[in-house]
Amino acid sequence: MVFRTLILKSAGLPGVERFVRSSRLFRPMVGRFIAGEGLAESISTAEGLAREGFFVSLDLLGENVATLEEAEAGTQAYLNLLDGIAKSEFKDAINISIKLTALGLDQDLDLAEANYRRLLEKAVGAETFVRADMEGSPYTQMTIDLVRKVRMEFVDTGTVLQSYLYRTDGDLETLIGDSCRLRIVKGAYLESEKIAFPTKADVDRKYLEQAKKLLVRGRYPAIASHDAAIIDELKRFVVSRGIDKKSFEWQMLHGIRRDLQRQLLDEGYNVRVYLPFGEAWYPYFTRRLAERPANVLFIMKSLFAK
């Protein structure tokens, strides 16, 4: 946790961001995580993965916009993304993940809701699913409330829960009761010990408990992890309970554990690759590095392995 905190705090320094953005040293690393900056490139990458049998969730990077104009631009960019998916021969394999703060959540809750509904209306025509990503803890309740509200009209949307928050057990029960499609993750934001488990062991324990509950009771849950030990434990659980491999999906990040992604696909599981793109890649990139100390060494090694 100390290593993770150090990376996240250091990443917030303007000098560090300038260095990472300008240094050639980081370009291969960034390319490992990010599927380019433009719409056409991202759709092409998504279609390539779909040809291999993977599902894809496209994520246009950019959060915490500062103005109403930026919120409108972000919403329009998502609408363009949905148009691009609708035109793809692989549209059935591709959905999108969104950030509500990119739609104006910091500026005006009603505006963010209106923009969210615009996306969901477009998604109906594109016949695709929209997932509202979970952001830092100040947005947890707002995100859950907004998703629950719009699902009264648009059922093809869902959200994400983070196992490291103490509150997640209660949120999980509420949203399972709503038949809301959920992705379960450990959590990647820097949070206080007052609201989040401080140790990896505790986070892993809660993640396994909550993932198993979703596998049994959830509506087509997304189990998001790159941890081989956790995945093996959940695979054993699936077999022991006779759970259909197609009743849920594994989700993994673009560029991380591609060997494991392929293995799970070959074993008959549904596997969705979370595929981020766009110019605002820096916050996402630093969270990926900070998730666990092994990520830095793993990425460096994998750059030379393939």
Give the pLDDT of residue 77. Answer: 94
Residue 222 burial by Cβ neighbours in a 10 Å radius (0-12, 13-18, 19+): buried
Vertex 287: Cα angle to 282 and 288 (nearest 5)? 100
164: domain CATH number is 3.20.20.220
Res. 173: pLDDT tops 60: yes
Is the domain of 91 the same as that of 18?
Answer: no
Print burial letters for 242-259: b (CB count within 10 Å at least 16), e (below 16).
Answer: ebeeeebbbbbbbbbbee
**Average pLDDT of the chain, as a whole number:** 88
Residues 6 and 87 in one domain: no
Task: Examine the domain organization and report whether 210 and 304 are in the same domain.
Answer: no
On the question of pLDDT at 306 being above 50, the answer is no
Same domain, residue pair 158 and 53? yes
Of the candidate ranges 36-40, 159-163, 192-196, the one whose mean pLDDT is the lowest: 36-40
- Residues 87, 153 share a domain: yes
Shared-domain flag, residues 117 and 255: yes
Distance from C-alpha of 263 to C-alpha of 292, rounded to nearest angstrom: 22
Q: How far apart are the first and last CA of the chain?
A: 29
26 and 56 both lie in a single domain: no
| Catalytic choice (59, 106, 133, 204) | 133
C-alpha 302/C-alpha 297 separation (Å) is 8
Q: Total domain count for the chain?
A: 2
Same domain, 115 and 142: yes
Give the domain extent around 219.
Answer: 37-280
Is 178 tagged catalytic? no
Residue 189 pLDDT more than 50? yes
What pLDDT does residue 61 have? 87
Share of the chain above pLDDT 70, in %: 81
- Top-confidence residue, 156 or 63: 156
Same domain, 183 and 226: yes
As a whole number of angstroms, the distance between CA 156 and CA 218 comes to 15
pTM listed for this prediction: 0.85
Residue 113 CB partners (closer than 8 Å, separation 6+): 146, 149, 150
β strands within 214-304, DSSP E: 222-224, 249-253, 270-277
Q: Are residues 51 and 151 in the same domain?
A: yes
Looking at the chain, the whole-number percentage of residues with pLDDT higher than 90 is 75
> Both tokens of residue 284?
């996402």
Confidence class for position 303, pLDDT limits 50, 70, 90: very low
pLDDT confidence tier of residue 37, bands split at 50, 70 and 90: confident
- Say which of 4, 32, 131, 183 is annotated catalytic: 183
Residues 154 and 45 in one domain: yes
266 assigned to active site: no
Comparing 17 with 42, the larger pLDDT belongs to 42
pLDDT, position 3: 52
* 63 and 119 inside one domain: yes
Task: Over range 16-30, report the average pLDDT.
Answer: 60
Q: Which of 4-18, 50-64, 76-90, 111-125 has the lowest mean pLDDT?
A: 4-18
Amino acid 22: pLDDT: 54
Angle at 261 between CA 56 and CA 166, to 5 degrees: 80
Query: In the structure, what pLDDT confidence band is assigned to residue 20 with cuts at 50, 70 and 90?
Result: low
Q: What is the pLDDT of residues 222-267, one digit of tens each?
A: 999 999 999 999 999 999 999 999 999 999 999 889 999 999 999 9
- Per-residue model confidence as pLDDT tens digits over 48-64: 999 999 999 999 988 89
> What is the mean predicted confidence (pLDDT) over 102-126?
97
